[in-house]
Amino acid sequence: MITKLSEHKNIDLSKPITLIATDGTVEVEADLPHIATITPADTVKFAQEMTEADFESLKKSEHFMKYFNIVFKGEIKLTASLAKYESMGIQHVIGMIVLIAKAIAEEKTPYLKHPESYLHPKFQAQLADMVIAFNPGNIREKNQIQNL
């Protein structure tokens, strides 16, 4: 539901991708059972709680690296230290990729709140390409998501 100045408007979230851009005066609520809300705090916490084994497993996943490289275009070499301790932007992207994949695997619609947080503007623009790549129409096999 979108609320602005006491107005309520329902939006259809059944489309493959729903993008809501606001100017800060709009409050968006997505508290529905088929919606998985993903916040920057969720993504960073997820990455910070990863074990070394979790991290190594993700690095070996061709699907995870595909999405990671869409955002960073090969400009950032993913290391455990960088991902765990040095960059909230990288932590945010790692968590976002895994939590989006988890939502899709659970047949929920991912709702990204402030996906641009912690990212340099250059990478913010490329983040949209990653979200588009997650479009269910672009995923040939559900196994791609479940095997992240």
Look up the domain containing 103 and give its range.
Answer: 38-146
Long-range (24+ apart) CB contacts under 8 A made by 136-139 are 136/16, 136/104, 137/16, 139/104
As for how many domains the chain has, the answer is 1
**Which whole number is the average pLDDT over 118-142?**
75
How much is the pTM? 0.74
> Is 100 inside any structural domain?
yes
Q: Within a domain: residue 120?
A: yes
Query: Has residue 6 been placed in a domain?
Result: no
Specify which of 21-30, 57-66, 139-148 reaches the highest per-range mean pLDDT.
57-66
Does residue 28 lie in a domain region? no
